[in-house]
Structure 1
Amino acid sequence: MQTVVSTPIELLDASDELSGMIRSSDIYHHYFEARQIMLEDEEAKRLIEDFNQHKEKFDEVQRFGKFHPDYSEVTKALRIAKREMDLHESVSAYKKAERSLEKLLTEVSEALAASVSPNIKVPSGNPYFDNSSCSGGCGSGGSCSC
């Protein structure tokens, strides 16, 4: 059944209903549980903190790029810390659940946009997971037809 919305208040109410449906989905519940498990995991906390410290050092060194004397050492340490963090079970499960939720939100956004007009593009913010985006940008001969 299609609901006709005639006022901005009704539209906001409908969007609240849609967000409630998303929050009651299995995908959201899996995401929420994975997030809680990761936030309560002491080893995950340590790995995330370690990664953030390496990232801060990298940001300082990045200003000078490979001309900084510690660039290679700091870059390597950052990659190692990221790999250790990403491979940890609770962090990995959280990231997987997060990608599933992002995919659901992108699909809902694309469905909403397409129902308004087939010409509306919805950026997902992640070109690796966005199958409907224009690859290469405008003017590159991609599939976006812009």
Structure 2
Amino acid sequence: MSAVVSASTDVLEEAQIMGEAILQSDVFIDYQQAKQRLTNDEEAQRLISEFNKWKDQYEEVQRFGKYHPDYKTISRHIRSAKREMDMHESVASFKKAEKALETLLNEICAEVAGAVSPTIKVPTGNPHFDNASCSGGCGSGQACGCS
């Protein structure tokens, strides 16, 4: 029993060290800076607010679909608001930094899972990693092309 407790403590200590390394990584620092710039950018916040307003209206219209009298107008406005929001520099920078951090965390999860067992499923949402780390444990009967 003592060996199990010791192994658990070692795993927790290693996880703590890994967490601290992630928090000190360039990827995480870039993410924090991009998030801060986005938070402080009044124009970006206005665009996000505008998009959310149209999104709420769009969700209401979706209940009736194309039969709602304002369906086309609201659909056009939400696409325009999203495009304008996504094209804004601080929003685009934040999304890029967020994606880089997500990729790093997905890679770490795949490595940790692979170290435990090659058959552990790691749902990353990224087909590259889902198939790359797959060793017959994907649950698709190897239809994904894994071996």
TM-score (normalizing by structure 1): 0.85
Q: Which residue does 1:88 correspond to in 2?
A: 88
The gaps in structure 1 that reach 5 residues or longer are none
The structure-2 alpha-carbon separation of the partners of 1:119 and 1:88, relative to structure 1 and needing over 3 Å to count, comes to same
Provide the rounded CA distance (Å) in 2 between the counterparts of 1:30 and 1:24.
Answer: 10
Q: What residue number does 1:39 align with?
A: 39
**Residue 119 (structure 2) aligns with:** 119
Amino acid in structure 2 at the alignment position of 1:108? I
Higher mean C-alpha deviation, range 97-106 or range 12-21? 12-21
CA RMSD, 1 decimal: 1.9
Q: What is the identity, as a one-letter code, of the residue corresponding to 1:50?
A: E
The CA deviation at 1:9 is 3.6
Identity of aligned residues (%): 46
Alignment correspondent of 1:110:
110
Quote the Cα distance in structure 2 between the aligned partners of 1:140 and 1:56: 41
Query: 1:8: Cα distance to partner?
Result: 2.9
State the shift of 1:120 in Å. 1.1
Displacement of 1:143: 2.8
Q: Distance in 2 between matches of 1:13 and 1:60?
A: 49
1:144 is displaced (CA, Å) by 5.0
Normalised by the size of structure 2, how large is the TM-score? 0.84
Residue identity matched to 1:19 = G
Check 1:47–1:132 CA distance in 2 against 1; reply closer, same or farther (3 A cut). same
Does the 8 A contact of 1:138 with 1:144 survive in 2?
no
Number of equivalent positions: 136
Larger Rg: 2
Separation in structure 2 between the aligned mates of residue 110 and residue 72 of structure 1, nearest angstrom: 43
Structure 2 segments unaligned to the other structure (5+ residues): 132-138
- The residue identity in structure 2 corresponding to 1:102 is E
Aligned residue in 1 for 2:129: 132
